Amino acid sequence: MPQKHKVVVTRQLIDEAQKLLESVPGLNIVQWPTEQPADRKWLLENAKGASGILLMLSDICDEELIKAAGDSLKVIASFSVGTDHVDRDALKKRGIRLGYTPTCLTDAVADLTIMLILMAQRRGGEAISKVQTGQWPKMPWSPLLMTGPQIRGSTIGFLGFGRIGQATLKRLLPFGISRVVYLTSEPGQLVKEDHFGLIKGAAIPIEPAKDWEQLACESDVLIVGCALTRSTKHLISTNFLSRMKKLSVLVNIARGPVVDTDALVAALDKGEIFGAGLDVIENEPNILANHPILKQPRCVLVPHIGSATIETREQMATESVKNLLAGLKGEPMVNEVEL
Amino acid sequence: MPQKHKVVVTRQLIDEAQKLLESVPGLNIVQWPTEQPADRKWLLENAKGASGILLMLSDICDEELIKAAGDSLKVIASFSVGTDHVDRDALKKRGIRLGYTPTCLTDAVADLTIMLILMAQRRGGEAISKVQTGQWPKMPWSPLLMTGPQIRGSTIGFLGFGRIGQATLKRLLPFGISRVVYLTSEPGQLVKEDHFGLIKGAAIPIEPAKDWEQLACESDVLIVGCALTRSTKHLISTNFLSRMKKLSVLVNIARGPVVDTDALVAALDKGEIFGAGLDVIENEPNILANHPILKQPRCVLVPHIGSATIETREQMATESVKNLLAGLKGEPMVNEVEL
């Protein structure tokens, strides 16, 4: 890079990533000074003449921003798994490359999935709430007090069975689960990628469901891990939930709108399923304290913290910087979106 | 059993166990009619002439009860893992046998241990509380928002490394942990029982700690799973906690008094450890809503639900009945306390 490149970075980055960025010679770094989201006006003003922009989920990358940057812009490096905040077509027609960070959060999300399964089965939210409100002294021991279903012997159902689903399965095997059934966009078809070598030669049956009815009927634990598309939106519906087992639990770590929240609230009310664990929900983050889902003692909702580990966020930051630099130099990125 | 045996049962039992009890010919069953604890006066009045008593943790079996039963008493079958509520000496001197149900809860407790580890690392309690109180809409995304340490690469420390500890380890292996260090009553010595064949030939180092200081310094996740004795009471002290890593978490699934609660509150206040997950606590269940541990956002406390799965409690009930019947017939029990 003989020429001095202007790069705009919409946050202060985590230690290692910040050091990597600052270590590169020949960069003119213009950086939003805090860990809070960058001001849009600041971004538009400073984009002018930038060769690269490293931005977050909360920064919209549209025609306006791209025009503000001008012809110098070569690369957008997004610190994110999704790229819904980026106008891909606008980048494509100008030949601007787009980097993102989809792979490094598999472990963090799979770990959280296990937490949510166990919390849904073992009534984690209800248990904490009883203690916090001082009810423990008034809970006389009885054989079925605060009991939930046990995971040993369960059939685990996966709606979507990609890398994160398979990483979750890897963790579930020593819990003594007995069977796996999964539904992908190709019902009845064997999944193509066996990311961790678990599927071929597995000690328990791991089988594709022929349709959503089979997935609903047979799962003791149903894990929603599919992409949000027109055909998966509200796939977990009143109809779906009514076919689930009374002692089953639902876990959503994918995207909120795959589950119809009203239907879920009704199913919990009626005892059609035992419990739920949600990392995502429709209309997040705009969930107020009076939201009906928060009145359900058997539902645990956490604020989209799937990838929220220090290690994962550091790695995402570092990969974003690497993608930015690769974009400037015309080299291969760690992960690049095909536009 | 040609003669009609009177048996006193201090609860209604769960389905299968109740059926088993009722299916035995020649029993005169006197049973407390609800799932709430039996009245002491009722128990003393009805014990008279009983050959066997099936009782719960909440029923004290002392000289008074044994005398009330009289010379006919052959067996106490306790629906419990611990037998602190039973006066063993009083049974021993009369040759009365004592059955209990210690083994069937391993899976349920190990499952809950995993839940508590993940909740302590991933800030489960804090996450739920933020959503419940309507704070989610006001949490602007930033790279380190709600992050915690990731389990991959961790050193797992076990204080006590028996069946439940090893069952927990079995579940932890696919999370990518890197090392195990354990402290038993014989520091520096290899543990004798390898309950699940995990230790010999393990893919990661699994080593005894030479002393508690080593366990404190090296653990990223510390799991308290030892018995409560004079030497383990308050073993997790101010001194112990001050040597732990700032990003480490403490999980107690054993007995409350192994951890000095005041010391834990202070350590969380000072940020000496990252978080805690507790199934047990000193003075439980008398934990009021103003207890200082409940003010710690990074501490999760659940009301001693380690064995609280439907399957485990059913199995415990069935085993209690089997122990009772074996005691009447002079046959081997599923699990008998050596008096």
Structure confidence by residue, pLDDT tens digits, B234-265: 999 999 999 999 999 999 999 999 999 999 99
Here the contacts of A197-204 (C-beta below 8 Å, separation 24 or greater) are A198/A166, A198/A169, A198/A170, A198/A173, A199/A166, A203/A173, A204/A173, A204/A177, A204/A178, A204/A179, A204/A180
**Is pLDDT of A23 > 60?**
yes
- The rounded Cα B266 to chain-centroid distance in angstroms is 25
Q: Is the separation of the CB atoms in B292 and B265 below 8 Å? A: yes
Angle at A39 between CA A36 and CA A45, to 5 degrees: 140
Q: Where in chain A is the domain with CATH 3.40.50.720?
A: 5-104+311-329, 106-301
| Sign (positive or negative) of CA dihedral A326, A331, A333, A338 | positive
Query: What is the per-residue pLDDT for B2?
Result: 54
Arithmetic mean of pLDDT over chain A = 95
pLDDT value of position A2: 54
Average pLDDT for chain B: 95
Give how far A60 is from chain B: nearest CA, Å: 14
What share of chain B has pLDDT > 70, as a percent?
Answer: 99
Averaged pLDDT for residues A45-63: 96
Q: Which residues of B touch A149 (CB under 8 A)?
A: 309-311
Quote the strand ranges of A91-235, DSSP E: 97-99, 155-159, 179-183, 206-208, 221-224
Cβ–Cβ below 8 Å for A171 and B171: yes
pLDDT at B109 over 50: yes
CATH 3.40.50.720 at B106-301, yes or no: yes
The model's pLDDT over B182-224, given as tens digits with 9 standing for 90+, comes to 999 999 999 999 999 999 989 999 999 999 999 999 999 999 9
3-state secondary structure of A255: coil
Of B114, B139, B289, the CB nearest to A134: B289
CA torsion sign for B167, B172, B173, B179 is negative
Which whole number is the average pLDDT over B65-91? Answer: 95
Q: Tell me what the mean pLDDT of segment B289-314 comes to.
A: 96
Under CATH, which number does the domain A5-104+311-329 receive? Answer: 3.40.50.720
When pLDDT is averaged across residues A110-114 and rounded to a whole number, the result is 98
Examine the pLDDT at A39 and tell me if it is beyond 70: yes
Most B CBs within 10 Å, among A136, A278, A290, to test the B interface: A136
Tell if the CB–CB gap between B174 and A175 is shorter than 8 Å: no
- CB A107 to CB B173 under 8 A? no
- Interchain CB distance below 8 Å, B143 and A313: yes
Distance CA B334, CA B297 (A): 43
Q: Is the pLDDT of residue B37 over 90?
A: no
A304 is catalytic: yes
Give the span between the Cα atoms of B46 and B8, in whole angstroms. 7
State what percent of residues in chain A have pLDDT above 90.
91
Q: What is the mean pLDDT of residues B105-111?
A: 96
d(CA B332, CA B339): 15
What is the distance in angstroms between the Cα of A265 and the nearest Cα belonging to chain B? Answer: 15
Residues of A in contact with B37 (CB under 8 A): 140-142
Q: What is the pLDDT of residues A237-266, one digit of tens each?
A: 999 999 999 999 999 999 999 999 999 999
Bridge partners, B263 (sequence order): none
Q: Is B302 in contact with A128 (Cβ distance < 8 A)?
A: yes
pLDDT per position as a tens digit, A145-187: 999 999 999 999 999 999 999 999 999 999 999 999 999 999 9
What would the DSSP string read from start to end of A301-327? E--S-TT-BHHHHHHHHHHHHHHHHHH
**In angstroms, what CA-CA distances link A230 with A241, A258, B19?**
19, 9, 51
pLDDT digits (tens, 9 = 90+) for A66-86: 999 999 999 999 998 888 899
Residue A88, pLDDT score: 96
ipTM for this model:
0.91
- pLDDT for position B1: 45
What's the pLDDT score for residue A1? 46
Per-residue confidence (pLDDT) for residue A303, from 0 to 100:
97
What contacts B140, CB < 8 A, 6 or more positions away? Answer: A36, A37, A58
The kind and range of the H/E element at B206 are strand B206-208
Rounded Cα distance, B147 and B13, in Å: 44
Query: Rounded to a whole number, what is the distance in Å from the CA of B2 to chain A's nearest CA?
Result: 32
Task: For residue A226, give the DSSP letter.
Answer: P
Q: Cα distance from B104 to chain A (closest Cα, Å)?
A: 12
Choose the closest CB to A305 out of B37, B122, B170: B122
Predicted pLDDT at B50 = 98
For A223, residues 6+ apart whose C-beta sits below 8 A from its C-beta are: A113, A117, A156, A157, A158, A159, A165, A168, A251, A253
